[in-house]
Amino acid sequence: MVVKKPKIVIIGAGMAGLTAANKLYTSTASKDLFELIVVEGGTRIGGRINTSEFGGDKIEMGATWIHGIGNSPIHKIAQQIHSLHSDQPWECMDGNNSNDESLTTISEGGFNLQPSIVDPVSKLFKYLMEYSQGKLTKETAKGEEVLSYYNMAVKAASSNFASKKNLSIGSFLRQGLDAYFESLKDEEEEVKGYGDWNKKLLEEAVFAMYENTERTYTSAGDLECLDYEAESEYRMFPGEEITIAKGYLSIIEYIASVLPPGLIQLGKKVKKIEWQSQKKSYDDNCFRPVKLHFCDGSIMYADHVIVTVSLGILKASISHHDDDDDKGMLFSPNLPSFKVEAISRLGFGVVNKLFMQLSTQKTTNLDDENSEGLFPFLQMVFHSPQNETKDKKIPWWMRKTATLFPIYNNSSVLLSWFAGEEALALESLKDEEIINGVTSTVSSFLPQNEVKFDKVLKSQWGTDPLFLGSYSYVQVGSSGEDLDTMAEPLPMMKDNSNFSYPLQILFAGEATHRTHYSTTHGAYFSGLREANRLLQHYHCVGIFNN
């Protein structure tokens, strides 16, 4: 009798899925052990990594950063394949650092804000976030100034809250801003030269600008939804954050390069996953417990399926049960309650990028009339939507956008980030509406500049049926434990003895990593984790400890 090889199907050819496939295929003991297939619903590999070109420059429609170069597996791969340098211009995000002196902070109406207004609020926001992340403590708060910000953070964390349970980052930040204003109540509030702005309004608006930047970092459309306690569990690698000169896709292509032709099947969107939730015995040696139904009508059987779809797709899978609905992926039987509850509680937001190409017509830099062809690294400070003095020509979807800047020094391609409602709104706007809205905004902030745009390019992660959003966050009411629950295989490990077929469905992807969720390296680690889970199950060598 010929014993069948275990068949492993990986759903999704993004970072997690391809890393798992790479590990399973290259492990010495497993090359001839498994039948391995990667199925991808789209027409390309990469998932939420999508390197493209715009205006002659290399850009990232999705994942952009290596979040810290110290010990990052993504940085190590990029170094190994020489992807960190390129002769072609790329989206290197010059000036996208809150401490960068090249940043120009301007308020609505065209008022260039002085450091005396911006810097204290910038430090306040920075130290509040560091406190929430566990980086700023009484021991690390050295110096009178830092200690004063530390005390504001302590007050913010305890004000009006019996405990930190269900405290949001948004509430914490606003309590911190209140503590800051309380500390200034006896100081002179007048400022001159800013039109109808007063000092407090300016400081509140600068603070809101940093909040809007934080929304794009976390994908939480509203920081009131972002859990405070979980913030201290999130981990960053040390060192600078950089982009990849030859594009993030070069990392993906390298990981996939070891896989033989035909192992990755594109255009295979999964419609339903049937699995065995109860113990059954089968005499048929060819039986495989998982049955995959595809939107093209085909069927595939597997012993193990590694699901690497986005949390957005998993949320859609638990919100409907219509077999004719191609927008989601169904499980039959339904996922167990512990898995459904974790999927429901965790947050999954929308972040989109808008690229604008400046017209070839020369534009004049704000600060130097002799400097042509430049656009500043612009931080935008808006009036609140309720303020009657706001510029009514600026559309609502621009008012929560913090920055607009060239993707590198002197580039004609500008970039702005959007999160939440305005990110979704952007997806439905026509190019002409976007150009008019951005032009009106620039006119208010740089009234002496005549800026024209030739074309635009935007990401559309929220309505993309293969993703339904951008990346995950820990929502108020959720916790890091839900991220651990996301990673639990089905049947659960502790129940495997009760099943003839353990580890039928495994889960990987950034939303399954407790400390590195929302990142490409979190997805990478999760792919290794699930590959190693199967290698260990079959007593193979090469267990990776992350």
Q: In the prediction, which pLDDT does 10 show?
A: 98
Q: In the prediction, which pLDDT does 371 show?
A: 46
Residue 274 C-alpha from the chain's centroid = 30
Give the C-alpha separation, 228 to 173, whole Å.
Answer: 10
Q: Smallest Cα–Cα separation from 294: which of 24, 511, 37?
A: 37
Q: Quote the tokens at residue 343.
A: 């999927």
Q: Where are the domains of the chain?
A: 7-46+246-347+468-538, 115-241
For residues 209 and 108, is the Cβ–Cβ distance under 8 A?
no
DSSP 311: H
For residues 502 and 491, is the Cβ–Cβ distance under 8 A?
yes
Give the C-alpha separation, 249 to 520, whole Å.
Answer: 12
Q: In the prediction, which pLDDT does 4 show?
A: 81
Per-residue pLDDT of the chain (546 residues; tens, 9 = 90+): 456 899 999 999 999 999 999 999 999 666 688 999 999 999 999 999 999 999 999 999 999 999 999 999 999 999 999 999 999 999 997 756 545 567 899 999 999 999 999 999 999 999 999 999 999 999 999 999 999 999 999 999 987 555 566 799 999 999 999 999 999 887 766 788 899 899 999 999 999 999 999 999 999 999 999 999 999 999 999 999 999 999 999 999 999 999 999 999 999 999 999 999 876 655 555 789 999 999 999 999 999 999 999 999 999 999 865 544 555 689 999 999 999 999 999 999 999 999 999 997 555 544 444 344 479 999 999 999 889 889 999 999 999 999 999 999 989 999 999 999 999 999 999 999 999 999 999 999 999 888 999 999 999 999 999 999 999 999 999 999 999 999 999 997 555 555 568 999 999 999 999 999 999 999 999 999 999 999 999 987 544 444
Q: Quote the tokens at residue 155.
A: 């007050």
Q: Quote the tokens at residue 482.
A: 């839900």
Q: In the prediction, which pLDDT does 542 show?
A: 46
Q: In the prediction, which pLDDT does 32 show?
A: 80
Whole-model pTM: value is: 0.94
Q: In the prediction, which pLDDT does 329 show?
A: 83
Q: In the prediction, which pLDDT does 279 show?
A: 65
Q: Is 544 exposed, middle or buried (0-12, 13-18, 19+ CB in 10 A)?
A: exposed
Q: In the prediction, which pLDDT does 546 show?
A: 43
Q: Smallest Cα–Cα separation from 107: which of 394, 478, 466, 518?
A: 394
CATH fold label, 7-46+246-347+468-538: FAD/NAD(P)-binding domain (3.50.50)
Q: What is the DSSP string of 327-364?
A: TS-EEESPPPHHHHHHHHHSEEE-EEEEEEEEPSS--B
Residue 254 C-alpha from the chain's centroid = 22
